[in-house]
Amino acid sequence: MSDSVPVLGGVRLERVELRRIRMPLIRPFRTSFGTEHVRDVLLVKAETTDGEGWAECATEPEPLYSAEYTDAAEHVLEHHLIPRLFAANHVTAPAVATLLAPVKGHRMAKAAVETALLDAELRAAGLSLGAYLGAVRGAVDCGVSVGITGTVDELLEHVAGYVDDGYRRVKLKIEPGWDLEPVAAVRARWPDLPLQVDANTAYRVRDAPHLGRLDELRLLLIEQPLADDDLVGHAELAKILRTPICLDESIVSAAVAESAIRLGACSIVNVKPARVGGYLEARRVHDICATHGIPVWCGGMLETGVGRAANLALAALPNFTLPGDTSASARYYEHDITEPFVLDEGRLPVPTGPGIGVTPLSDVLAEVTTVVRAVVR
């Protein structure tokens, strides 16, 4: 993707392993979509004639964040996406999007298989994902996302722990009935803390006067206040609020990012590579936003080390100027499936090994695996 790296030569895909793992969360994570206590994660391993590659599918167990969900992702991978890649015989990761275009939607599933292939190709070439994408940093500033808690005191306790850990930005989940009071309490406790909020589509344009009361709290941004398909509404809201509007669920491709920016629907973009169909499309979103002077940051989906490693490579690109949700392994999991990512003065290192730079630990993987399915040529 960067001008200084070679074009990948492609591989012959022989077998794809679809592995479900069960990852208990250290602390339940609650949003407007529900509460998660355990992550049911789908891992994808691409086995090629030149080696293997790993990826994590970022889907949720239910279609609440997006239309995709994990059981459906596994089904569409097995029956519709992987067979098309087998039929291509020799495939390179940049060609995956075109090969899979006849299958409508399913961006997270497509992202998983594209990333696994890309990891395999980069490992064979001895090139890191960061170098391939055009990373300019060896480490990235990290933020943390804090879910909705039972009480304001509990929220303050959680935030205090993350501030002590050294996180450089805190994001608070909000929804009607849980917004002004908890956010004001955090701001009062930490007057200079870089702070932002995430509404996960919970509000409507008519809530503008209420959301406008957040302006006095000096937030970095308010993320996705309105429905994902309401770009016009976001543009209207942006004219009313002083707090910058950031889009998340709305941005499903580089083309939509361009439209949102031209409409004035946002002044910041959260780039989640799975949501846009993979790291190659995420790079295009990054480039379009950079052209328009729109800063971006890397969102998270409570990834294990497999997904976190790839996200760190993306977050090291030049226009990722705000701390992302690239938290340390210990934020979510007692034992990660890779060597843990450990926070160092609020930053995480960008993996420099070939591909995504990490490989699942076989003993840990065996302990957390619930089902393995193989799709063979």
Catalytic residues: 173, 272
What pairs with residue 86 in β-bridges? none
Q: Sheet containing 268-271: which strands, arranged edge to edge?
A: 143-146, 169-173, 195-198, 222-223, 245-247, 268-271, 296-298
φ, ψ for residue 374 (rounded to 5)? -115, 135
Helix, coil or strand: residue 37: strand
Distance CA 258, CA 288 (A): 7
Q: Residue 105 CB: number of other CB atoms within 10 A?
A: 13
Cα torsion angle, 61, 59, 109, 227, sign: positive
Task: Judge contact between 17 and 159, C-beta under 8 A.
Answer: no
Which two structure tokens, joined as six digits, stand for 240? 């009313």
Distance CA 81, CA 211 (A): 42
Distance CA 50, CA 176 (A): 52
Q: Residue 163: which residues within 8 A CB-CB, separation 6 or more?
A: 170, 190, 193
Task: Classify residue 228 by its DSSP letter.
Answer: T
Q: How many CA atoms lie within 13 Å of 361's alpha carbon, on the beta-carbon side? A: 12
Cα torsion angle, 33, 108, 295, 254, sign: negative
Helix%, strand%, coil% for the chain, nearest 5 = 40, 25, 40
Distance CA 197, CA 223 (A): 6
